[in-house]
Chain A
């Protein structure tokens, strides 16, 4: 069965510092990979996705992620964090075949940004 592990429940960084959020997955084949962000009281917003090609993908708000097949990882990075980045971040995987886009999410990483 597929699963997504986000080993860091909570991360605190200072504004302007770099950020890396970890994501590991278990799947039968290379899935589609996603990062979503959820602000308090809000739904989920897509930051970026990987489905083929270049393993370094760029997203919105200055985020990027790197897919490493050998490590089954898809870590999210940002070179300089802004206070507005404080939110919860979810990594997700989805099937590359079939008729239903059933995403499997990790349990999330809560990001706190210190001034």
Chain B
């Protein structure tokens, strides 16, 4: 167990709705990254937050947004949900924003969009 917790574990939404996913970082970690893992695929980087600011973003549209709070927990928000947004969303925390240090992943939030 990594100490990274995500909620909810499963949820179902309909197309066009909005969703918020939450992540609690491992104690002492100041960096949070979010990844999208579609069925049968590897995770894809969405963005990274360091000290409450976004400091890296993958190839995802602006309707994917995030927040990091002073206690380093984080939220991922997705607006105007599309069917292709159905995936496992993984949160990962780390001690630093760059380098080769280990990322600690949570178990993910599985989103189904109908």
Contact = CB atoms under 8 A, between A and B. Distances in A.
A100 interface: yes
Interface stretch (A14-22, A68-76, A79-87, A104-112): A104-112
Contacts of B103: 44, 46, 101, 103
Label chain A's interface by main secondary structure.
loop
Contact of B98 (A43, A45, A95, A108): A95
Interface of B: 2, 4, 31, 33, 35, 40-45, 48, 50, 55-56, 58, 90, 92, 94, 97-103, 105-108
Given A49-B100, A51-B100, A102 B42 contact: no
Contact of A43 (B40, B58, B90, B100): B90
Contacts of B4: 43
Interface size class of A (residues with CB under 8 A): 20 to 34
Nearest to A51: B100
Contacts of A51: 100
29 contacts: A32-B99, A32-B100, A41-B107, A42-B107, A43-B90, A43-B105, A43-B108, A44-B90, A44-B105, A90-B42, A90-B43, A92-B42, A97-B98, A98-B56, A99-B56, A99-B97, A100-B50, A100-B56, A100-B97, A101-B48, A101-B99, A101-B101, A102-B45, A102-B48, A102-B58, A104-B45, A106-B42, A107-B41, A108-B41
Label chain B's interface by main secondary structure.
loop
Nearest to B102: A46
Contacts of A100: 48, 50, 55-56, 97-98
Contacts, number: 75
Interface of A: 4, 32, 36, 41-46, 49, 51, 90, 92, 94-108
B42 to A, nearest CB: 3
A105 B43 contact: yes
A57 B75 CA distance: 35
B55 A99 contact: yes
A43 B48 contact: no
